Amino acid sequence: MGTGLLGVLMERQGRAATTSASSTRDPASDEPDGRRQEPLRRRSNSASAPAVGDSALTEEVRRDRPGSYSGTTSVSRQRVETLRKKRPLFPWFGLDIGGTLVKLVYFEPKDITAEEEEEEVESLKSIRKYLTSNVAYGSTGIRDVHLELKDLTLCGRKGNLHFIRFPTHDMPAFIQMGRDKNFSSLHTVFCATGGGAYKFEQDFLTIGDLQLCKLDELDCLIKGILYIDSVGFNGRSQCYYFENPADSENCQKLPFYLKNPYPLLLVNIGSGVSILAVYSKDNYKRVTGTSLGGGTFFGLCCLLTGCTTFEEALEMASRGDSTKVDKLVRDIYGGDYERFGLPGWAVASSFGNMMSKEKREAASKEDLARATLITITNNIGSIARMCALNENINQVVFVGNFLRVNTIAMRLLAYALDYWSKGQLKALFSEHEGYFGAVGALLELLKIP
Amino acid sequence: MAECGARGSGSSGDSLDKSITLPPDEIFRNLENAKRFAIDIGGSLTKLAYYSTVQHKVARVRSFDLSGQDVAEQDRESPYEISVQEEVTARLHFVKFENTYIEACLDFIKDHLVNTETKVIPATGGGNIPHEAFAYQKDADPEFRFQTNHPHIFPYLLVNIGSGVSIVKVETEDRFEWVGGSSIGGGTFWGLGALLTKTKKFDELLHLASRGQHANVDMLVQDIYGGAHQTLGLSGNLIASSFGKSATADQEFSQEDMAKSLLHMISNDIGQLACLYAKLHGLDRVYFGGFFIRGHPVTMRTITYSINFFSKGEVQALFLRHEGYLGAIGAFLKGAEQDNPNQYSWGENYAGSSGLRSASPELCPTQRARSGTFDLLEMDRLERPLVNLPLLLDPSSYVPDTVDLTDDAQAREHWLTCFEEALDGVVKRAVASQPGSVDAAERAEKFRHKYWDKLQTLRHQPFAYGTLTVRSLLDTREHCLNEFNFPDPYSKVKQKENGAALRCFQRVVGALDALGWEERQLALVTGLLAGNVFDWGAKAVADVLESDPHFGFTEAKRKLEERPWLVDCYDRWLRRLKGPPHKCALIFADNSGVDVILGVFPFVRALLSRGTEVILACNSGPALNDVTYSESLIVAEHIAAMDPVVHAALREERLLLMQTGASSPCLDLSRLDEGLASLVRERGTDLVVIEGMGRAVHTNYEAALRCECLKLAVIKNAWLAERLGGRLFSVIFKYEVPAEVPAE
């Protein structure tokens, strides 16, 4: 990945680190109570709890944090002070390290006072500037600008929430950068979820001198979804569905207001798939999961077509015809199979035509990509439908990065769920597809319930 | 294995090209006699069924016509004459093959059907149509139960994995419902496999998969979580994302690894869906069928694993040995409605059915080619319906076999060796039984080959022909003998021994009558056991009988173990005899000659004298030197001529001779002749006597009945004796009284 995203960051951090080191000795902002709530309630869960000495240092350092509200008047001061006490240091990140992608959400405070800005350590400032003034970081990091949530109030601070992703295999470089530029001196807390929070924990600690706050990925997912749904999407609805999903002419993406979100079946399609039944804010269970997920689609596409990116795979799929690859009901029965109520267009055997040499030769790469997409999507739809029936839930929300720029899959899920359930089940989608885990991790950092 | 390779002349070896790799007449056996024919051309496999008649030889016994002859019966060497006749029986053939071969096969079929009165029934097409499964199941229910070896069959979920997957909920024989399906099935494995690898054949793809490491292609939980999965209580080897590691442009993956990953992906997916459907419908058993499963240990294993994983052990995965014919069989039986299938039972012909397909490369090429390409199932029509013995304590849980050799490797090795070693003797006996036949030696060699092949297959794949038991080994041997027109190799031996034993009958009975009551009871039992020593089926005894033809009844008694026997309930039995007589005893006889005449008949006679009615049940057809029903009739007639007790009992129908419906050295109490079963019920049978190793030890040793039961046998196999804690000629005398019946 070279010096792309992280390279720039590293450079700026370098300068920032020194500044920050000097500013930590500022005694001006001592708190009267001298104690601040330990923001990492889950930290005790982590395998290596920090030693007492470290803890004390952390407290001290936190007290040194530049106060931005020292000049405000009495009435609001108390409330603000309470918030401030609970508030962790900037920068505010939420990290979700998945099997394929790292999702990073970053809160950019927009209410920084001049005074605050002056006191802001250089490294913090550079991070903020760098992340918010770019849309791509190096060759692999991308900020999904269209997803940015504006004018959000978090812990009493107003700002914008940014959504950034980069491949998990660039994680070691990310950590190395943290080490090189002494990121740990910022004393920021990394709240991270996803399997990578465990996999890279030791690296964060030994290489980057950073203690990860590991969070349960399903907790974060649910928390993130409920929160994001509650704040909407810059005045629009977060949740949506498809009207006439099978009809290219009349298919419409329409907003859906989750007035009564429970119970809800949540299908998270990342590299693999997790399916959760959510009964209330704090009551959910993992119903099942399948290994046939986004990673399978992309992995098989790489093998079958030689494509190199997810976008390329989807682009090929959009030009392909899966019926050349799949064996349909009508290929076997000549039409509908009425006895079982099977329509002729239904797939009887995914890749079934590829048993024949002639048909293998006739199928294009695009056809294969399309068939792979259809196969994986239909299967997820089918498992989700069975889970919804077993759990007696009729609204199914599909999230996860498999659905990113993947209208084909979403429309197919919408159609399949509606068709096979005879209209009983509704497929819902959410604008921030793959970022809920990361948002949940950020909310944990901020102790937002 | 070279000798196996030589089989199937005209075969093109192990080439798996488009030509039929074996002579079609070996596959479409008996096609020229086909009376009805059905074909089901599915998505990837063609299945066909035909109903044909088979002409084969049967040995008949007949009493001499005594009128006009002045030879005293006592002087005659043999008490009856044997004739070999031709008999025509009905057989169902099921053949299944990949569509690749369809042209060659159809040509062959056309040629052979042209001159017959054949009704061609166009089948439904579309491969796996579960509805027909149940027509089949319904009409051949006993057969099906036998195959599954699982008595509580309903309700269940049937998952047929053909090109795609069909899921059917089956509540009763008549109530079933298609509840769902999935497009990820055998066709996906095959199709994707052919795209991802250079291998284009289904079987070879499976073989490729069996050598691969899926962890090289799949993203596992440990790949995402690192080492932490352990502290989180996750199994690191779980697949998080199938093909997750192949999402990269700069790495090559081995064909084996990709095939393995594909296999896991598809098996897991089907298993998961099956569990979801099972849960939705509240079912805990799932039967899997279809070509993806059929005979492939690899897929059976992965599916079972998946079911266990997703259901947390709550759902059981079950497999049928011959399924996938469902479409063809159903269509076929629909066309055969006028035959009223309820009048018959069907029994599998082990000689004609192919074993499970092998992924084992050790097997000889022709065997592999044939079994991998064509799958055969033959079922013989038995003329009478078979039912449960009404006295079974719990018919639904009854399993005849004592030891499952599929599980018990040590026992399996022993018995396979035992059957191999006995093969020479059986071949010799078969030739000797047809002294006038010019081709007897040649046929006997063919028999040797066929049975030897089957034994070798079983060594490599114990499950090849379903549950492997001593009974299935014995039955397979009988079927193979019949196949080569040796309907009753022991007929001559039995004839001679019956004659000799009849000549001793009066002396034995006289001696017994001279004894005091208590002494006589023991002598009757000892006689029964001594008679059972005479068994050509046991190699230890066959050797003695071969080398010493005058091995006598007295000598046999001396061989018997002294009391206390290995299993000795005699004292309890004696106490019982001091009580009121039984109302009716059902006795399953074992061997011809000394056993039935000097052992069983005196015992029968004593029961009759006590006022107990007796039903003597013998095999319907020949098996080893076991006494057959027809022979028992003649023997009884001869004894009646000498003995007033038996004579009167026969006349007054207090002694009834019945046939069991079986032709096996073993005994399956869930498949008995309907006539016998109703008689047992009518007469209020309250005692069952099962005699012999095959019937009382290899089978039924653990069988629980609702009435008193005697299980008697002499262990004529040193290995088995040792395993049971005894020695050769140890005695089993098991007297069982069910809990609810007052003992004395």
When pLDDT is cut at 50, 70 and 90, the band that residue B539 belongs to is low
pLDDT above 70: percentage of residues in chain A? 81
Task: Report the alpha-carbon distance of residue A2 to residue A166 in Å, rounded.
Answer: 13
Residue B401 is classified by DSSP as B
Q: Per-residue pLDDT averaged across A187-193, rounded?
A: 85
Residue B95 is classified by DSSP as E
- List the 161-180 stretch of B: residues with Cβ below 8 A of A: 162-164, 178, 180
Residue range(s) in chain A whose domain bears CATH number 3.30.420.40:
239-321+364-430
Q: Per-residue pLDDT averaged across A112-124, rounded?
A: 85
Task: Report the alpha-carbon distance of residue B312 to residue B358 in Å, rounded.
Answer: 30
Question: Is the CB of residue A348 less than 8 Å from the CB of residue A381?
Answer: no
pLDDT at B376: 61
- List the 333-372 stretch of A: residues with Cβ below 8 A of B: 333, 337, 339-340, 342, 346-355, 357, 360, 368
A300 interfacial to chain B (CB closer than 8 Å)? yes
Q: Per-residue pLDDT averaged across A158-167, rounded?
A: 96
Closest to B526 (Cα-Cα) out of B593, B574, B493? B574
Reply yes or no on domain A87-231+437-446 having CATH 3.30.420.510.
yes
ipTM of the predicted structure?
0.82
Lowest mean pLDDT among A63-72, B6-15, B633-642: B6-15
Q: Which residues of A touch B43 (CB under 8 A)?
A: 327, 331-332, 348-349, 352
Q: Which residues of B touch A367 (CB under 8 A)?
A: none
Q: Per-residue pLDDT averaged across B519-527, rounded?
A: 93
Q: Which domains does chain B have, with CATH numbers?
A: 31-62+77-129+333-382 (no CATH), 133-217+253-320 (3.30.420.40), 402-484 (1.20.1700.10), 492-736 (3.40.50.10880)
Question: Following CA atoms A46, A50, A52, A57 in sequence, which dihedral angle do they give, to the nearest 10 degrees?
Answer: -130
pLDDT at A82: 64
pLDDT at B145: 27
pLDDT at A188: 75
With 80 as the cut, is the pLDDT of residue B56 above it?
no
Q: Per-residue pLDDT averaged across A57-67, rounded?
A: 35
**Higher-confidence position of A12 and A399:** A399
Task: Please answer yes or no on whether B183 and A352 come within 8 Å at the CB atom.
Answer: yes
Of A201, A332, A350, the CB nearest to B126: A332
Of A199, A294, A378, the CB nearest to B224: A199
pLDDT at A125: 84
pLDDT at B109: 67
Q: Which residues of A touch B239 (CB under 8 A)?
A: 272, 291
Looking at domain A239-321+364-430, which of 3.30.420.40, 3.30.230.10, 3.30.930.10, 3.30.230.30 is its CATH number?
A: 3.30.420.40
Strand partners, A398: A267, A429
pLDDT at B232: 66
pLDDT above 90: percentage of residues in chain B? 34
pLDDT tens digits along B384-422? 677 889 999 887 678 788 887 766 778 888 889 989 998
pLDDT at A124: 84
- Residue in B closest to A330 by C-alpha: B126
B247 interfacial to chain A (CB closer than 8 Å)? yes
Task: Report the alpha-carbon distance of residue B461 to residue B355 in Å, rounded.
Answer: 9
pLDDT at B349: 61
pLDDT at B236: 75
pLDDT at A76: 59
When pLDDT is cut at 50, 70 and 90, the band that residue B81 belongs to is confident
**Higher-confidence position of A383 and A76:** A383
Question: Is the CB of residue B210 less than 8 Å from the CB of residue B193?
Answer: no
With 50 as the cut, is the pLDDT of residue A252 above it?
yes
pLDDT at A351: 97
pLDDT at A37: 40
Task: Please answer yes or no on whether A332 and B42 come within 8 Å at the CB atom.
Answer: yes
In whole angstroms, how far apart are CA B36 and each of A404, B29, B87, B329, B332? Answer: 58, 14, 20, 12, 8
pLDDT tens digits along B305-350? 888 889 887 887 777 655 544 444 444 444 443 344 444 455 566 6
Q: Which residues of B touch A291 (CB under 8 A)?
A: 218, 238-242, 244, 265, 268
Which of A100, A193, A216, A296 has the highest number of chain B CBs within 10 A, making it the mutation to test binding with B? Answer: A296
**Chain A closest CA to B262's CA: distance in Å?**
10
pLDDT at B408: 76
- A118 tagged catalytic: no
Q: Could you say which of A120, A217, A366, A444 is catalytic?
A: A217
Q: Per-residue pLDDT averaged across A55-61, rounded?
A: 33
With 70 as the cut, is the pLDDT of residue B137 above it?
no
SS3 B584: strand
- The helix (H) or strand (E) run that includes residue A125 is helix A122-133
pLDDT at A3: 36
- The helix (H) or strand (E) run that includes residue B335 is helix B326-335
Q: Per-residue pLDDT averaged across B732-742, rounded?
A: 81
pLDDT tens digits along A316-355? 999 999 999 999 988 887 788 877 788 889 999 999 999 9
**Among all chains, which residue has been given the structure tokens 């295999």?**
A169
Q: Per-residue pLDDT averaged across A250-260, rounded?
A: 90
- Calculate the average pLDDT of chain B: 77
Kindly give the interhelix angle for B570-577 and B517-531, rounded to the nearest 10 degrees: 130
With 70 as the cut, is the pLDDT of residue A158 above it?
yes
When pLDDT is cut at 50, 70 and 90, the band that residue A119 belongs to is confident
With 60 as the cut, is the pLDDT of residue A61 above it?
no
**Higher-confidence position of B564 and B364:** B564
Task: Report the alpha-carbon distance of residue A267 to residue A275 in Å, rounded.
Answer: 5
When pLDDT is cut at 50, 70 and 90, the band that residue B547 belongs to is low
Q: Which residues of A touch B191 (CB under 8 A)?
A: 325, 349-355
When pLDDT is cut at 50, 70 and 90, the band that residue B58 belongs to is confident
**Chain A closest CA to B719's CA: distance in Å?**
50
Q: Which residues of A touch B246 (CB under 8 A)?
A: 299-300, 302-303
Question: Is the CB of residue A81 less than 8 Å from the CB of residue A70?
Answer: no
Q: Which residues of B touch A194 (CB under 8 A)?
A: 224
pLDDT at B585: 97
Question: Is the CB of residue A66 less than 8 Å from the CB of residue A119?
Answer: yes
**Chain A closest CA to B275's CA: distance in Å?**
10
DSSP B591-656: BTTHIIIIIIHHHHHHHHHTT-EEEEEEBSS--TTBPBHHHHHHHHHHHHHH-HHHHHHHHTTSEE
When pLDDT is cut at 50, 70 and 90, the band that residue B272 belongs to is very high
Question: Is the CB of residue A131 less than 8 Å from the CB of residue A106?
Answer: yes
With 70 as the cut, is the pLDDT of residue B464 above it?
no
- Residue in B closest to A98 by C-alpha: B224
pLDDT at B177: 83
With 50 as the cut, is the pLDDT of residue B358 above it?
no
Q: Which residues make Cβ contacts (< 8 Å) with residue A50, sequence separation at least 6?
A: A43, A58, A211
When pLDDT is cut at 50, 70 and 90, the band that residue A83 belongs to is low
pLDDT at B35: 66
pLDDT at A53: 32
**Higher-confidence position of A177 and A57:** A177
Residue range(s) in chain A whose domain bears CATH number 3.30.420.510:
87-231+437-446
Question: Is the CB of residue B545 less than 8 Å from the CB of residue B551?
Answer: yes
**Chain B closest CA to A400's CA: distance in Å?**
14
Task: Please answer yes or no on whether B243 and A294 come within 8 Å at the CB atom.
Answer: no
With 50 as the cut, is the pLDDT of residue B9 above it?
no
pLDDT at B382: 61
With 60 as the cut, is the pLDDT of residue A159 above it?
yes
B44 interfacial to chain A (CB closer than 8 Å)? yes
